[in-house]
Amino acid sequence: MINQQLQLFRSSGEPFATYIEIMQQRELERERADIEFRRAEQESQRAQRAERELREAVPRLLGMGLTIQ
């Protein structure tokens, strides 16, 4: 049995990606998006913690005699 594949080329001579290559690229992009989403979530949580710590620190600092101008 002869293994034959149809391969299509662009007018530039570059071959079109195969279905498998397209699916692999799609999975990589999905993984990258997931990583970026998790990074953004972590950054958001960090910012929320920092804001909460600042809100909690201001009354303590004022209680110690620090003045805000």
19-66 residue pLDDT tens: 999 999 999 999 999 999 999 999 999 999 999 999 998 888 888 887
pLDDT of residue 44: 98
Query: Is residue 34 situated within a structural domain?
Result: yes
Please state the domain count of the chain.
Answer: 1
Does the residue 37 lie in any domain? yes
Q: Which pLDDT value is given to residue 28? A: 98
> Exposed, middle or buried: residue 64 (CB in 10 Å: 0-12, 13-18, 19+)?
exposed
Question: In whole angstroms, what separates CA 12 from the centre of its chain?
Answer: 33
Within a domain: residue 47? yes
Q: Is residue 53 in a domain?
A: yes
pLDDT value of residue 27:
98
Residue ranges making up the domain that contains 41: 17-63
In a domain, 27, yes or no: yes
Question: Which is higher by pLDDT, 53 or 6?
Answer: 53
Section 10-22 average pLDDT = 94
Residue 22 lies in a domain: yes
Domain assignment present for residue 36? The answer is yes
pTM of the model: 0.63
Does residue 26 form part of some domain? yes
